[in-house]
Amino acid sequence: MKRIVKSRLDDHIVDLYDRVDDVKKDISVIKNNHLKHMSSSIYKIEKNVERLIWGLLSAAGALILLLITLVLK
């Protein structure tokens, strides 16, 4: 293993600190920006799925009522 000269070691440490700062910035962007957009998109999808479920339940109920009326005629 090569020995690292003190000045090169300082450069490596500074480089590591810069990389850590970049990662912190990326995490901050993800938390503050992307997650907010995701929550609004998830809410919209949830609303559409709820409408679909109610539509299917209504159609099934109408079909059952239609079948009951045909059987009782």
E-strand stretches of 1-73: none
State the pTM of this model: 0.50
* Confidence tier at 63 by pLDDT (50, 70, 90): very high
What is residue 32's predicted lDDT score, i.e. its pLDDT?
77
* Confidence tier at 56 by pLDDT (50, 70, 90): very high
pLDDT in tens, 4-53: 556 777 788 888 888 888 898 888 887 777 777 777 788 899 999 999 99
Distance CA 70, CA 57 (A): 20
